[in-house]
Amino acid sequence: MLDSTKKKRRPISLFVLAMMSTAVVVGLEGMPEVGSFGLPLIIYYAIFTLVFFLPVGLVAAELGVGWPHDGGVYRWIREALGERWAFVGVWCQWLQILIWYPTVLAVCAVSVAYAIDPALKDVGIFMVGISLAVFWSATLFNFRGLHFSGWVTTSLLYAGTLLPVALAIALAAWWVGSGHESAIPLSWGGMVPKFDSIGEIVGITAIFSFLSGLEVNAVHFRHVERPQRSIPLSLLFSGLLVLGISIFGALSVAVLVPIEKIDLAAGTLQVFEYVLDPLGVGWIVKVLAILALAGMAGHIMVWVIGPTESLRVAADDGLIPPIFQRTTPGGAPRNVMLLQAIIVSLLCLLMLFFDLNRIFYMLTIASAQVYLVMYLLMFISVIVLRHTKPDVPRSFVIPGGRIGLWLVAGGGGVTALAGIMVMFYPPSTEDMSMEGNICTVILLLAFIVFIGLPLLLFQFRNPNWGRDARMPGVDETKSAWKRAD
């Protein structure tokens, strides 16, 4: 039986929202890959911040305070472009995270292996078993509802992400300060990027994935204390924290671990093993492995409920079958989360048959492409809504009037479109290359299928699936997806 009422949710504080936004973006899984870029990663992050990360934060802030309702990105795109493209947007958000889950779960499994026996990271059954246990645990935790999982996520972020990264940074500083040789040249000249081929640029675009997600917690903006103040401030605070952790954490990997030895699944644990084992205190790595597992679990917990909540709102509108409207007593979208867990479980089985480093790259690129489609729709939506619904109260707007709007949102849209196109080329970096056209063909076919599916499914929507259309006293001839808020 569908829920006809929902328990009133306790409001989310600015602090919890900021920590959740940080936990969405920051993860240990991206630091080895970014660290493989060497010292130029500082320039790369500066560029991506200017043309992508900052526009995403500004756009999410304006749309979040203007439409702080359930649904997040789905609601924003629906208001501007209609439900067809809103469904495509939320589908892309959800699909990219499905593709991404196996990579972050592999990091969780490696963390458990380091805590027990590092050799276990080469045992496929062990990796899959731990991955499934972590993901199903994160799913069940979120059944308790957002307020509970929000504080759990905040605690795990401190213990499992901030602490290990801070220690990794300290170790790198001590290593260099003690006269040891850095694995990368530490000079101003070493910061200059070298773009020898289009493949090099494609490899660098992986940063898109590691600076994405600020908008995910928009599904919870409706439940924030004083949203007009809290939403922009939380995005600003979390954005600064994300950049600091990402840049210095990746640099610690680059300084301590030679590029040819970087294991993309080992995370910052490789840094600790590389430095602490020779010092005779390798046992500390096991402790840090447990903390890293906790941090990655918190990272996963935020993602588990964010996009699924948007899909639940789409189900309320009648775009997908009503079975996906069902929620737990805590308000979590139960059946969408269960479907997600089943799909992720199947995807994790890939770790039994493929090289993890190569899978990491392919999944990162594929997920980034799909995600950029959603961002393109989001950038277009803020421009459309500024012109079509200028009277909607917004306590925060992108600075600079219409010129500022077009520079920020228009520039972000062009960046997203360029990123999608460039990623069809095979990557070629120092630690990974993919020769031939097979990579391009696979990515192109996957992209067509991924974007075509929601457009196809939209044709089979049913007005009677909408929650309002089936409630007593509501005109059943009224299309659920045409109703006003």
Cα dihedral 145/151/155/156 (nearest 10): 20
- Please give the backbone phi and psi of residue 187, each rounded to the nearest 5 degrees, phi first: -145, 160
In this prediction, residue 471 carries a pLDDT of 45
- Of 69-83, 172-186, 266-280, 301-315, minimum mean pLDDT range: 266-280
DSSP 8-state symbol, 353: T
In this prediction, residue 482 carries a pLDDT of 39
In this prediction, residue 197 carries a pLDDT of 57
In this prediction, residue 436 carries a pLDDT of 53
Listed ranges 368-382, 421-435, 441-455; the one with the highest mean pLDDT: 368-382
More confident residue, 86 or 215: 86
More confident residue, 481 or 153: 153
Residue partners of 370: CB distance under 8 A and separation at least 6 = 92, 95, 96, 99, 447, 450, 451
- pLDDT over 70 at 8, yes or no: no
Residue partners of 355: CB distance under 8 A and separation at least 6 = none
- Of 175-184, 257-266, 284-293, minimum mean pLDDT range: 257-266
- pLDDT over 60 at 202, yes or no: yes
| Each residue's pLDDT tens digit, 97-146 | 887 788 788 888 888 888 888 888 878 889 899 999 999 988 888 787 65
More confident residue, 10 or 272: 272
In this prediction, residue 181 carries a pLDDT of 84
CA distance 419 to 376: 10
- pLDDT over 60 at 451, yes or no: yes
- pLDDT over 60 at 160, yes or no: yes
* pLDDT confidence bin for 9, thresholds 50/70/90: low
Helix (H, G, I), strand (E, B) or coil at 12: strand
| Pair 167, 391: CB distance under 8 Å | no
What's this model's pTM, rounded to 2 decimal places?
0.78
Cα separation of the two ends of the chain = 24
DSSP 8-state symbol, 9: P
Mean pLDDT, to the nearest integer, of 85-93? 91
Using a 10 angstrom Cβ sphere, with 0-12 exposed, 13-18 middle and 19 or more buried, the burial of residue 411 is middle
CA distance 241 to 153: 16
- Please give the backbone phi and psi of residue 240, each rounded to the nearest 5 degrees, phi first: -65, -40
More confident residue, 278 or 70: 278
| Pair 392, 67: CB distance under 8 Å | yes
Q: Where are the domains of the chain?
A: 15-482
- pLDDT over 90 at 191, yes or no: no
- pLDDT over 80 at 18, yes or no: no
In this prediction, residue 220 carries a pLDDT of 62
| Each residue's pLDDT tens digit, 36-50 | 777 888 888 888 888
| Each residue's pLDDT tens digit, 370-384 | 889 999 999 999 999
- Please give the backbone phi and psi of residue 36, each rounded to the nearest 5 degrees, phi first: -65, -15
CA distance 395 to 62: 8
In this prediction, residue 479 carries a pLDDT of 37
Q: Which of 428, 463, 28 is nearest to 246 (CA)?
A: 28
- pLDDT over 50 at 4, yes or no: no
CA distance 38 to 393: 45
**Mean pLDDT value across the chain:** 78
* pLDDT confidence bin for 484, thresholds 50/70/90: very low
Chain centroid to Cα 16, Å, comes to 18
In this prediction, residue 88 carries a pLDDT of 93
DSSP 8-state symbol, 193: -
Mean pLDDT, to the nearest integer, of 12-32? 71
Mean pLDDT, to the nearest integer, of 45-61? 87
| Each residue's pLDDT tens digit, 333-363 | 888 889 999 999 988 887 677 665 566 566 6
CA distances to 38, 296, 302 from 270, rounded to whole Å, are 16, 16, 25
Using a 10 angstrom Cβ sphere, with 0-12 exposed, 13-18 middle and 19 or more buried, the burial of residue 18 is buried
* pLDDT confidence bin for 221, thresholds 50/70/90: low
Helix (H, G, I), strand (E, B) or coil at 117: coil
CATH fold of the domain at 15-482: Amino acid/polyamine transporter I (1.20.1740)
DSSP 8-state symbol, 264: T
- β-bridge pairing 428-429 and 432-433: antiparallel
DSSP 8-state symbol, 391: T
Paired tokens of 373: 């489609």
